[in-house]
Chains A and B, each alone.
Chain A
């Protein structure tokens, strides 16, 4: 037994928004720009309170809208600051122009998306549609299952974003309503642990607003007929390489977190009771808890069902998904959003794409639930399991199932 006592961590009860604010505080963020929007508002209120209380030594910038929020943070990051914001739904939409520019400038910002279903119909409730709508922009995106995972992942996000081989912005997605307002017991790591985990910020070694290194940031590369398009390709490929490096950086950050703080989360995908599974559910975010309960119930009835939770959604862990689902007969992918034009969920699209690389390709079906804050209960998951069991028997995948259609 070690004679060295670890500093005691503290347990608190808080919701996901407060947990994210604690993470930002522990990560010693220098600059926060905010514009409140449901269900993110209390997150930035907590941050404002932590700054007012002297817990967080950061500059809070209240601006007139989300477009300015992210633009202000661009300036902060280029000046060397560790930066943070959070938004969702219409706020994310208003932020879109600087949101597009962030990964191309390789700025390691961290931004929570407190996921919300998009307009229209009018909705202020949870759903992944906002985050899913920006999945191809080049931000790293991780989805959390629990309040504890929100806290831990938000700190880990800085280590991933600022990794020299990554240098990309990270979205930490936590479900509006269910995680934003759901309170749970949370272990707060000590400042010493977080300091040991997270090095000082390194955000502008490559692109800077720095009089000692004068440079033009984001000039035109030039059009057809000159070297411009080839230069453009070089930057695009660099961004793709950064995205692929993020897979290893995310795994390394989770490993370091487990070593220093003593808590282990699955970095890319989590396999739950998959060892001898014949069928599998694939889930994203807070629905996973109910999914695991439903799997336990099915297991107690003797059904060989497992669950694969996708934590890292961008970059998509193609090989990890293919490995996790190789060998099962049927897969049911449960989405909390819609891919218009494919008439299925977007995670389903990604999963069937990844299954091309599986050694044995299972049949798969798309399930959509939890739109506009609807609960996906163990009963809903029970229906998914029944349908996937039938799929394993006959191999005939039907149309997308809308789980809350007849609630």
Chain B
């Protein structure tokens, strides 16, 4: 289990009833709560970069001969799989 949150600085001198501020960092990234993940079929990928263009969180990473996905920041939206002209990306359920 990942650490939920940690304080970013000592805010003990700021009254708790003054105004809404958040002083704790929550380190969770989209990869921590994704339900489906994209898997690239290297044999089909022609490196056209359509997935790279469409990815809303810019988690598509360029490799020597294909494009891969950074699963730490990928939120599993599936846009890359939908847009890929080669049908090289499939969405696979995350293991529980």
Contact = CB atoms under 8 A, between A and B. Distances in A.
A154 B11 CA distance: 32
A106 B11 contact: no
Contact of B16 (A207, A213, A234): A234
B53 to A, nearest CB: 31
Given A213-B9, A214-B8, A214-B9, A219 B22 contact: yes
Contacts of B23: 213, 215-216
B43 interface: no
A212 interface: yes
B18 A206 contact: yes
B16 to A, nearest CB: 7
A382 interface: no
Contact of A206 (B8, B9, B15, B25): B15
Interface residues of B, number: 14
A107 to B, nearest CB: 8
How big is chain A's contact interface, by range?
20 to 34
Interface in A90-112: 104-106
B19 interface: yes
B27 interface: no
A255 to B, nearest CB: 25
A221 interface: yes
Given A214-B8, A215-B11, A207 B17 contact: no
Given A214-B8, A215-B8, A215-B11, A234 B21 contact: no
B65 interface: no
A218 interface: yes
- Chain B interface, >50% SS class: loop
A347 B14 CA distance: 36
Contacts of A235: 17-20
B20 A241 contact: no
A237 B17 contact: yes
A213 B8 contact: yes
Interface string A28-72: 000000000000000000000000000000000000000000000
Interface string A198-225: 0000000111000011111111010000
Contacts of B15: 206, 238
A161 B20 CA distance: 18
B19 A104 contact: yes
A217 B21 contact: yes
B21 A241 contact: no
B14 A221 contact: no
A236 to B, nearest CB: 9
A121 to B, nearest CB: 39
Interface string B12-47: 001111111111010000000000000000000000
A205 to B, nearest CB: 8
Contacts of A205: 14
A167 interface: yes
Contact of A216 (B14, B17, B18, B22): B22
Contact of B19 (A206, A213, A214, A237): A206
Contacts of B17: 234-235, 237-238, 241
B25 to A, nearest CB: 8
Interface of A: 104-106, 167, 205-207, 212-219, 221, 231, 234-235, 237-238, 241
16 contacts: A106-B18, A106-B19, A206-B18, A207-B19, A213-B8, A213-B9, A215-B8, A215-B9, A215-B11, A219-B21, A219-B22, A221-B20, A235-B17, A235-B19, A235-B20, A238-B19
Given A205-B14, A213-B23, 18 more contacts: A104-B19, A167-B18, A206-B14, A206-B15, A206-B19, A207-B18, A213-B8, A214-B8, A214-B9, A215-B11, A215-B23, A216-B22, A217-B20, A218-B20, A221-B20, A231-B20, A237-B17, A238-B15
Q: Which 4 residue pairs spanning A and B have beta carbons closest together? A: A238-B17, A216-B22, A106-B19, A219-B22
